[in-house]
A and B are shown apart, each in its own frame.
Chain A
Amino acid sequence: MTKKNPISFHLSVEDFMPASDSEKQELVQMRPSVGFFRDAMIRLFKNKVAMVSLVFIILIMIFSFVIPNYYPYTYNQQIRGSEYLAPMQFSDQELARREAGEKVFPHILGTDNLGRDYAVRVMVGSRISLLVGLIASGIILIIGSVFGSVAGFFGGWVDLIMMRIVDIIYTIPDILLIVLISFSISDPLAALSKLPGFQWIQIVGANLISIFLVFALLYWVGMARIVRGQVLTLKQSEYVTAAKALGASNARIIRKHLLTNCIGTLIVTTTLQIPSSIFTESFLSFLGLGVAIPLPSLGSLASDAINGLNTYPYLLLAPAILISLIILSFNLFGDGLRDAFDPKMKS
């Protein structure tokens, strides 16, 4: 090895004095440690796509839950003589009223075949679609996580039986059964709604209830599998053994240790469940098995628009674009959450 001459002229005895600990420490750079949850949030806020999606979701929420309440038209208000108006067009009567000096709010998206303002219908439609997505995901979250954590926690043949049930439900073609269930229970539900105490069914609509029922019956299995997998791995961790050794009850261990540690997975899976529920609702509404008339949903609006597609294509455009954007933004936000909570899963 060729040797450089390391001893140059500017070296002094001072340089060979021992260095103090503090001097040594200056060289060691430690990065500040951050908690798991905060770390995930920081990563999430840095993700531009996810943030744009979140802003969009909030905007949609405002448009569908707040604005219709202050809107000059309601979703089921039929204006005679205003059928099939093009966007921003006024009917003859409305023009006459305008000339009389009255202020008439324009139909931003036109009106439909019954003279209903389309903009407010689209807004209420997205409200229904969002509600279905959120409530269905909530139902799935509760049933799935409870079922999954119980199966995973107790293990043994409890787990075996519970997971066989999941297997069977998993292999049932869901769409077929949804169609069948919503078809067959709509009549009994309608009968039930006439009884005292059950009037609320009429307001919500029998079809909507059957959609929730189907979600509650079939769609939780994916969630249950994920939670069970998580619980099985967490179960073997030392702190659960420690909690057991200290005499904690099973319920407390599930609630306190297992579920809190699954929380990231639960949030991500639930968020990604929302668009898929909206998807299914729109599919059913499109087939005429969704919400009850005159309540609109984005699926039923699109379905209605098809009949007049050649003459009034703009009626299809608004719900079609909106539903795609809602599903897209929930998907992207969910992806962002997943990346934030589990950087390893990032693809």
Chain B
Amino acid sequence: MLKYILKRVVLAALTIFLVATITFLLMNLVPGGPFVAEKSISEQAQQALNEKYGLDQPLIVQYKNYMKNILKGDFGLSLKQRGRTVTDIITSKFPVSARLGGLSVLTALLIGIPLGSVAALNRGKWIDSVIIVIATCGIAVPSFVLCTVGMYTFGVNLGWLPTFGLTTPLHYVLPIFSLSFYPTAYIARLMRSSMLDVIGQDYMRTARSKGLSQFISLFKHALRNAIMPVVTYVGPLLAYTLTGSFIVEKIFVIPGLGKEFISSISNRDYTLIMGTTIFLATLIILMNMLVDIVYKLVDPRIKLK
């Protein structure tokens, strides 16, 4: 087990290092550097700026400095938001995205798991068909479609829900709905097939032959086994909600890290792009690692190996 954890940690560290390197190289691929777009500055001023941000040094030196700073958690200054460090921007914007993402993950799990189980237990009946249809449509509708359609119907047309910002609980309804719809549908499908698999297992027959009621054999014996595949999906789910928040935050004008990332791309704010990418990538990689390790801990079949 310890060996497994060690392996995962090394793998995660390697991946993070790789992502940081790729990010650095890609950013340097852009010809002319970050100040080209601003035509107004003179050559002298540009040189001064390059010097200030260390962009005049050879690539390898830049890379070394950059890596050193990252290790310290220092992503440098934002190029476009004068006077603010990237770290500062991330720490102020991320909590908003984290709250939104966390609530969406929770919603997806709390709705998807029961939905999938109910479908499996009523296999072939009308309720199963209804859930299958909803789940199949759910994974086919892109989140931006959901966002805009939801915003238009409930926000603009009916006027029931606010369409931008994140100030009251009511503001959360549409963003969370848009963000959690796909994972809910996915989890429901996953849970349904895994539940069907578990119901057919021999130990379920044993449970019934012991005289356990349907309810107890399902809750005690089936659920715990059937939920395992869903646990493995939690990692990708977190990644999905974090990146999915780009679109949701953009459409609903939510001041989170996702919106910041999108505007940093259109503003060509290099340091902010690099910082955000590395921060989010690290977060996703670490979350994935944690979920994998927790999964191994939860599943007793692998415990002592």
Contact = CB atoms under 8 A, between A and B. Distances in A.
B226 to A, nearest CB: 12
A167 B12 CA distance: 10
A172 interface: yes
B281 A283 contact: no
Interface string B269-283: 000010001001100
Contacts of B136: 328, 331-332
7 contacts: A172-B285, A180-B22, A184-B26, A191-B31, A279-B142, A283-B142, A303-B144
Given A173-B19, A180-B26, A320-B149, 12 more contacts: A168-B11, A171-B12, A175-B246, A177-B277, A179-B246, A183-B273, A188-B30, A275-B140, A324-B140, A328-B136, A331-B139, A347-B193
Interface string B120-162: 0000000000000000110111111100110110001000000
Nearest to B266: A288
A324 B139 CA distance: 9
A173 B192 contact: no
B29 A327 contact: no
Interface of A: 164, 167-168, 171-173, 175-177, 179-181, 183-185, 187-188, 191, 275, 279, 282-283, 286-289, 299, 302-303, 305-306, 309-310, 313, 316, 320, 323-325, 327-328, 331-332, 347
Interface of B: 11-12, 14-15, 18-19, 22-23, 26-27, 29-31, 136-137, 139-145, 148-149, 151-152, 156, 189, 192-193, 196, 239, 242-243, 246-247, 250-251, 261-262, 265-266, 273, 277, 280-281, 284-285, 288-289
Nearest to A330: B140
Nearest to B151: A309
A14 to B, nearest CB: 50
Contacts of B11: 164, 167-168, 171
A331 B145 CA distance: 17
Contacts of A184: 26-27, 29-30
A140 B250 CA distance: 30
Contacts of A279: 142
Contacts of A171: 11-12, 15, 285, 288-289
Contacts of A183: 26, 265, 273
Contacts of B143: 283
Contacts of A347: 189, 192-193, 196
Contacts of B247: 283, 286-287
Contact of B14 (A168, A180, A302): A168
Chief secondary structure at chain A's binding surface: helix
Nearest to B239: A173
Nearest to B247: A286
Contact of B30 (A187, A310, A323): A187
Contacts of A303: 144
Contacts of A167: 11
Given A171-B11, A176-B280, A306 B288 contact: no
A29 to B, nearest CB: 28
B292 to A, nearest CB: 10
Given A287-B262, A328-B136, A282 B142 contact: yes
Nearest to B145: A320
A180 B141 contact: no
A279 B288 CA distance: 23
Contacts of B12: 171
A328 B136 CA distance: 7
B144 A282 contact: yes
A168 B18 contact: yes
Contacts of B266: 288
Contact of A327 (B14, B140, B148, B250): B140
Pick from B23, B145, B261, B265 the residue with the most CB of A within 10 Å: B145
A287 B251 CA distance: 10
Contacts of A325: 140
Contacts of B289: 171
A286 B250 CA distance: 10
Name the residue among A275, A286, A310 with the largest chain B CB count within 10 angstroms.
Answer: A286
Contacts of B246: 175, 179, 287
B38 to A, nearest CB: 15
Contacts of B151: 309
A180 B142 contact: no
Nearest to B262: A287
A309 B243 contact: no
Contacts of B189: 347
A176 B148 contact: no
A195 B196 CA distance: 58
A38 B204 CA distance: 36
Contact of A185 (B29, B239, B243): B29
A229 to B, nearest CB: 16
A185 B29 CA distance: 7
Which 5 residue pairs of A and B lie closest in terms of their CB atoms, listed nearest first?
A: A347-B193, A328-B140, A175-B243, A184-B26, A327-B140
Contacts of A289: 265
A179 B143 CA distance: 17
Given A171-B12, A175-B243, A324-B141, A309 B18 contact: no
Nearest to A171: B15
Contacts of A332: 136
A269 B277 CA distance: 30
B243 A173 contact: yes
Contact of A180 (B192, B251, B277): B277
